[in-house]
Amino acid sequence: MILGDFGTSYCKFLDLSEAVASPTIMATKDLPSDIHVSFSTGHNGKRFADAYVNELIALARGGEALIKEPDYVLLDCGSRDIKYVQYENGSLKDMGWNAECGASMGFTIELLERYYELDYNELAVPEQTFSVTCGVLGMSHIFDAIINGVSGSEAVAKFVKGIAINAFRFVNSPSKIYLSGGLCDNSLFVNSLPCKVVRLGRHVLLRGLKESAERFAAG
């Protein structure tokens, strides 16, 4: 049985038939048109699977399997949007999905890193930030700053911090966040979040799919 998380920029897969199942990843642009999986999630997942699991459900079940605390906030930052689940006393309390103000957030951050030839793990968190509510529209702050003499690296760092602050406020400013998604590997983004951050990596939704598949098999 193969599970697939079909993201906007990257797709993640897990083959449960392997003796030691290990997730694999590929760029969405390289995805074969004839690929097919048993269970899927992600905005494009319905096209390639026998059964589809909503992303928030996959995120919640992945969190339940990985986080051994009764109270927590789990934030998933993807290429296209951000989403979260909040648990209290071991039960789901709230969830949310922001596809507009989080528009192309992860994608834009990755694009800027490549264009300006930066390494986000080497950039320090700036003291100041831009007010950014949208990954695409927020780029105008970078261009304006560069015109006024700010270096490209500093302008991009302020932009990334603004994105992080916006995501933090979206999940109601908790004291601790469990982070899911590709931005777990972005130290500038992680360190810009004004709270304690526990990085869970980019395969939380796959873990949620695994839980869903096991529940299905159990009837």
Give the HSE-up count for residue 187: Cα atoms under 13 Å, Cβ half-sphere: 8
Give the pLDDT confidence score for residue 101 in this predicted structure.
Answer: 55
> How many of the other CB atoms lie within 10 Å of CB of 17?
7
Q: Which amino acid is at 164?
A: A
Global confidence as pTM: 0.92
What string of pLDDT tens digits covers the 219 residues of the chain? 999 999 988 999 999 988 787 999 999 999 998 999 999 999 889 999 999 999 999 999 999 999 999 999 999 998 888 999 999 999 999 999 886 555 567 888 999 999 999 999 999 999 999 888 777 777 888 999 999 999 999 999 999 999 999 899 999 999 999 999 999 999 999 999 999 999 999 999 999 999 999 998 887
Q: State the DSSP H helix or E strand holding residue 169, giving kind and residue range, or none if neither.
A: helix 152-170
Q: Where are the beta strands (DSSP E) in the chain?
A: 2-6, 10-15, 24-27, 37-41, 49-52, 72-77, 82-88, 91-98, 176-180, 196-201
Give the pLDDT confidence score for residue 117 in this predicted structure.
Answer: 96
Give the pLDDT confidence score for residue 197 in this predicted structure.
Answer: 98
Give the pLDDT confidence score for residue 100 in this predicted structure.
Answer: 57
Give the pLDDT confidence score for residue 29 in this predicted structure.
Answer: 93
> Which tokens go with 209?
């799919």
CA distance between the termini of the chain: 16
Domains and CATH numbers, the chain: 97-201 (3.30.420.40)
5: left (phi over 0), alpha (psi -120 to 50) or beta: beta
Q: How many whole angstroms separate alpha carbon 135 and alpha carbon 145?
A: 16
